[in-house]
Amino acid sequence: MDRVHITDVAPRDGLQNQAVHASTAHKLALVERLAAAGIGSVEITSFVSPKAVPQMADAADLLPQVQARLPALRSSVLVPNRKGLERAHAAGAHEIAVVLSATETMNRKNINMGLDEAIAVSEQTLQAALALGLRTRAYVAVAFDCPFEGETPLDRVVDLSLRMTKAGAHEIVIADTIGSASPGMVKERMGALTQAIAADKLAVHFHDTRGMGAANAWAALEAGIRRFDASVGGIGGCPFAPGAAGNLATEDLVLLAERSGFSTGISLPGLLDAIDLAQEVLQRPLGGRSIAWLRKQRDSASGTHLKRPQGLHQSPTQLAPPPG
């Protein structure tokens, strides 16, 4: 069966923008539930300025704990510059992601660099990460529209993706940072990108701002893409991109993929357990478009097709009481 690979970005993209700050113990517990649900790859945190994103200030504390408890999990971390890479490496990171926005203004707002400087810093960071033997991802952010500059030229997205590939990125993540893409745009853009770069090196990262996350994922699947970012419960959004709502929810993507003949290795009841935990931590209701139906299936005695598979990874630890 055709496999779909999902990186859950809830602990980073999801938690970076929340009013309630999750504790390190809560973040660890969330990652454990994701692993228990069968998620094989998680973006754990970011090594960014704690002044820019205070929610990620515990990165150096969290990452080694995750890697010690879940050695089989692919744990990736976002780094915006060399300093971030150095901090990630010192904390024992095996995989990093750089973030290059496709427009001048978005780079300035996000990482305080212009486009040319951001390209150079991303290239240098990738090369340094490769020299350290790390696995690398490169985000090409605002790859559809920029909240400041409007529609992003497609040839620039292709050019930046090629440059990141040449700098050694193992995976290019085409990101719809504000969730403005439509399936037609995804078809066009991923079609052009797969002409330039092998499909198995490309991933997509959708936000569900306009309710098109699942439709966009389908368009990407049809374009041959099998690597996806998603966020359990649909938590997410960039604090520096106005109008960005939550990510495409992992549970919606898993349901879409599994119901369409793809395998994900991910358990939907396991994801519901992770959402229950995230709700407790963030103290608000969470979940993608399918959440009501999924919960009904779980709660009904006849919901046999949502039974938990046995023996998936480690069992989650008990949730510590919320801080304060």
The residues binding Zn ion (CB under 5 A) are 13
Residue 39 CA: distances (Å) to CA of 7, 101, 254, 304: 7, 27, 10, 21
Residues 74-93, interacting with ligand COA (CB under 6 A):
78, 80-81, 83-84, 87
Q: Which two tokens stand for residue 160?
A: 């930046």
Grouping H, G, I as helix, E, B as strand and the rest as coil, residue 31 is helix
49 binds, options ligand COA, Zn ion, none, Cβ within 5 to 8 A by partner type: ligand COA
In angstroms, what is the minimal distance from the CB of 87 to ligand COA?
Answer: 6
Q: For ligand COA, give the closer residue by CB, 47 or 206.
A: 47
Q: Which of 9, 174, 217, 238 is catalytic?
A: 238
In angstroms, what is the minimal distance from the CB of 100 to ligand COA?
Answer: 10
83 binds, options ligand COA, Zn ion, none, Cβ within 5 to 8 A by partner type: ligand COA
97 binds, options ligand COA, Zn ion, none, Cβ within 5 to 8 A by partner type: none
Q: Strand 95-101 to strand 135-141: parallel, antiparallel, or no bridges (unpaired)?
A: parallel
238 is catalytic: yes
Site string for ligand COA, 107-146 (x = CB under 6 A): ---xxx----------------------------------
The alpha-helical segments, DSSP class H, found in the chain are 24-36, 59-69, 82-90, 104-111, 115-131, 154-166, 183-196, 213-222, 250-259, 268-282, 291-299
Contacts of residue 207, Cβ cutoff 8 Å, sequence gap at least 6: 176, 177, 178, 179, 213, 236, 237, 244, 245, 246, 247, 248
CB atoms < 10 A from the CB of 117, how many? 14
Q: Which two tokens stand for residue 41?
A: 């790859």
- 177 CB-contact burial (10 Å; exposed 0-12 / middle 13-18 / buried 19+): buried
Residues 202-261, interacting with ligand COA (CB under 6 A):
238, 240
Contact 236, 258 (CB under 8 A): no
Cα–Cα distance, 315 to 78 (Å, whole number):
26
152 binds, options ligand COA, Zn ion, none, Cβ within 5 to 8 A by partner type: none
Of these, 41, 46, 55, 122, which contacts ligand COA (CB under 6 A)?
A: 46
In angstroms, what is the minimal distance from the CB of 101 to ligand COA?
Answer: 8
Cα–Cα distance, 4 to 228 (Å, whole number):
8
Contact 247, 9 (CB under 8 A): yes
256 binds, options Zn ion, ligand COA, none, Cβ within 5 to 8 A by partner type: none
Q: For ligand COA, give the closer residue by CB, 54 or 321.
A: 54
53 contacts ligand COA (rule: CB under 6 A): yes
Helix, strand, coil proportions of the chain in percent (round to 5)? 45, 15, 35
Of these, 6, 30, 36, 47, which contacts ligand COA (CB under 6 A)?
A: 47
In angstroms, what is the minimal distance from the CB of 244 to Zn ion?
Answer: 7
Residues 140-199, interacting with ligand COA (CB under 6 A):
none
User: Annotated active-site positions, please?
Assistant: 238
List residues near ligand COA by CB under 6 A.
16, 46-49, 52-53, 78, 80-81, 83-84, 87, 99, 110-112, 238, 240
